Amino acid sequence: MIIAEFEGVCKLGMPNPTLVDWIDITVFILAIIACFKSAKLAMLSEKNWWYRLSVILSLLVINKFLFIDFCVSQLFSSLARQVELYSLRRGFQALLVLSISVVLIVSSYQFQQKLSRYSVYLKWSYLACDGLIILMLLRLISLHQIDALLYIDWLGLGIGLNWIVEIICNALIILFACINIQQHQKFK
């Protein structure tokens, strides 16, 4: 299911989608639908936040389906080889992981403070979404030690930690959106 190829370095699209890939994408789509439905029923002040979460999840599922993060990682790797900086990549990757972690933690804290007046379900949904974004960024950075943890078969079923984290985060978003929907239906 390759959609496009860039300079022989990267092929846009899932190379060999597995059952777990399709389950993961399905769970993403269910989370998008749950957030959209929650937005339709939410109070006016929360509507846009649920819609924004739907858009973020849509972008993440498009990234997942098209393997954009993998392609970007491969393109950076190829570029580093061309300018002969590939041997220095580990230091850059470590600095990038540290910088992104600090920025995400600080921005997540500030964002949670901004959401403090909204429902707890919206806040927890955004925290689960933060987990999805962090996972995508870790795959983008492609540090070998992190990749070894993400793609190792923890359960002996051919399922990597990256899929487990994505499915759990999306399941939490679905759960919180559904609870939010149920609570708003009680009042209508």
What does the block give as tokens for 65?
């389906």
pLDDT one-digit tens code per residue, 58-111: 999 998 888 888 777 777 777 777 777 666 666 776 777 778 778 877 877 777
pLDDT of residue 180 exceeding 80, the answer is: yes
Predicted TM-score (pTM) of this structure: 0.79
Contact 161/134 with Cβ under 8 angstroms? Answer: no
Contact 1/17 with Cβ under 8 angstroms? Answer: yes
CA dist 156 to 1, 43, 152, 159, Å? 26, 44, 9, 7
Report the pLDDT value the prediction gives residue 33, as an integer from 0 to 100: 97
Provide the residue ranges of all domains of the chain, joining segments of one domain with +.
4-186
Reference 129, options 175, 172, 185; nearest CA is 172
pLDDT one-digit tens code per residue, 22-44: 888 999 999 999 999 999 988 88
Reference 23, options 173, 186, 170, 188; nearest CA is 170
Contact 61/28 with Cβ under 8 angstroms? Answer: yes
